[in-house]
Chains A and B, each alone.
Chain A
């Protein structure tokens, strides 16, 4: 059984559906990349999994989020509080806005251990030191009493990972965790995430817009566009032989995939604004293969191998 199974998830802002038809599966120790451009809905999807949507603005209108077989959508806020941090940890792009600037790093890690597990002050402190060591912070016993501003950007990202892992969750949701970091530091943090996956059997949802990061770290991939999953499946299949024209176009317009100084095969136009999505396939106004049938909405169907694609032209020809 998969650790996380998302079925038919839809999120709306007022009358506008922002995200719909989201199906995701994740097993223990798997790294799933959630890729898409800004506004494609990847961040609000992650927040919805944790039931962290801004109240009164966004809500889940449909679907289920099963974690270890238990649906999180109908849970009360009190029950959710026991899921967050304990079963699922979350890290973000900007550690500065998710670490308390006037609280010592060690206390921020120990806080959730004390809250969720009722651990003693001494035990929580021991755990904090151990976690800082696990995320690769030198001199952990000395650094637990440091404040976030005394850490560099990469160390703060490591500290946030330590906070997220304090109660040993099985699933880590990482929303653009390396986007604000320099490449040499990004390499260190990605390495750390993979090490944690290997050591703890952690499953990771990695939200990113960087296909290079995906290629080097993920096992499977879901490509989002305008609030829907366009294609999902094993990483290698999607990157080597994309079935959906959007995945293909995204790969082609990477500067690395064309000869230097050659014109890049850019995707014409721009992504639609949230809530005013085109009818039918949402990519069709920018799609090189669009035809009349694309005004009808394509379902996410098997498209060869283990992958699924939402494109009228991607499905393997059916018998008869």
Chain B
């Protein structure tokens, strides 16, 4: 890992949502008590200044909730987030304000994350005003500068979001994030809604900005190809936990966790001479309301043994340069070949 002090440190973070039921102390009627979804389950990770880390996993694995929890957008039930060494207290407004002055988020849906009634210039100026980033008479110039930075013509400042394309709106979302001059950006599926030709433009923009401004980037995505391209490190999540984390090239070249293997093998390759791989996993992720005992992956795991179903949840442990949450040391699988 890098020698520099991490910019962001997340330790044992837990997020729980109530999913129906009645939350009354002492209520003990079966079927009526509150039920909880453990969306994020004791997740730890750190991000160095200027580093890009990808968080991947399928829907419901908790990757978006993790991103939101880091910025204090959802309540956490346990664990700790430290930003630049200072603990972020979710209920302490000043500590949240301090965090959000330096950390921003980019969302998936570029239209939904912009106010349809504000023109683009106003949407960016609002950020500058709230964070006191520009003197009132300098705002217009700064808005133009930010628009140019993300590759848009400053003339677009008068347009409303519906007059822009999806790619242009996503650039505006990025400009708003950059307006606070952040040191950390959390991008939640920020290219998922874009066509591939536009997606490439936005990825290029993110890579360029990240290098130029030495931003730390937490890139949440279900698209493994994009993460491989963009991120130095990657964390794979399954049902609220990180099951494997390491340098992207290591994880992609020789994935250790059976889930990572299945995930990588399931991505259709654009090589026309590779036949469709046999489906590696049966079934779908179980409901997070009703997590299986033991390793949460064991009902779908081709290597599951008795210990996986009964035993404790496997902790992340180091094997080589990767950390992996599996009871077994599966032999490294080179390339995305068949699982033995």
A residues in contact (CB < 8 Å) with B:
37-38, 152-155, 182-188, 190-191, 194, 209-217, 235-236, 239-240, 249-251, 253-258, 260-261, 263-268, 270-271
Contacts and interface: CB of A to CB of B under 8 A. Distances in A.
Contacts of A263: 204, 207-208
Contacts of A38: 195
A185 B262 CA distance: 11
Given A254-B225, A264-B203, A212 B268 contact: yes
10 contacts: A182-B59, A186-B268, A190-B276, A191-B276, A210-B268, A249-B197, A254-B270, A256-B270, A260-B249, A263-B208
Determine the interface band of chain B, counting residues with CB < 8 A from chain A: 35 or more
B148 interface: no
A212 B197 contact: no
B230 A183 contact: no
B268 A256 contact: no
Nearest to B274: A216
B336 to A, nearest CB: 12
B228 interface: yes
A92 B200 CA distance: 27
A250 B263 contact: no
B329 interface: no
B249 A216 contact: no
Interface string B183-208: 00000000000011111110110011
Central interface residue in A38, A186, A264, A270, by most chain B CB within 10 Å: A264
A235 B200 contact: no
Nearest to A239: B272
Contacts of A188: 279, 281-282
Given A253-B199, A266-B203, 6 more contacts: A184-B58, A188-B281, A209-B196, A215-B268, A260-B249, A270-B165
Contacts of B195: 37-38, 209, 271
Nearest to B227: A255
B200 A267 contact: yes
Contacts of B277: 187, 216
Given A183-B267, A187-B266, A215-B268, A255 B279 contact: no
Closest 10 CB pairs of A and B: A212-B268, A266-B200, A182-B58, A253-B200, A37-B195, A255-B229, A267-B197, A264-B200, A187-B266, A216-B276
A213 B268 CA distance: 6
B225 A255 contact: yes
Given A253-B197, A266-B201, A261 B58 contact: no
Nearest to A259: B229
B275 interface: yes
A207 to B, nearest CB: 14
Contacts of B199: 253
A154 B284 contact: yes
A152 to B, nearest CB: 5
Given A37-B195, A240-B272, A249-B197, A184 B263 contact: yes
A38 B284 CA distance: 28
B240 interface: no
B229 A37 contact: no
B198 A270 contact: yes
B130 to A, nearest CB: 31
Contacts of A250: 196-197
Nearest to A256: B225
B248 A260 contact: yes
B197 A215 contact: no
A186 B272 contact: no
B280 interface: yes
Nearest to B168: A270
B92 interface: no
Contacts of A194: 276
A227 to B, nearest CB: 15
B1 to A, nearest CB: 19
A148 B201 CA distance: 39
Given A194-B276, A261-B229, A261-B230, A216 B269 contact: yes
Interface string B133-151: 0000000000000000000
A216 B196 CA distance: 18
A270 B208 CA distance: 20
Given A152-B284, A253-B197, A212 B269 contact: yes
A235 B222 contact: no
A256 B200 CA distance: 11
B207 to A, nearest CB: 7
Contacts of A152: 284
Contacts of B204: 263-264, 266
B290 interface: no
Contact of B262 (A184, A190, A264, A265): A184
A216 B276 CA distance: 5
Nearest to B208: A263
A187 B284 CA distance: 11
A184 B165 CA distance: 31
A144 B249 CA distance: 46
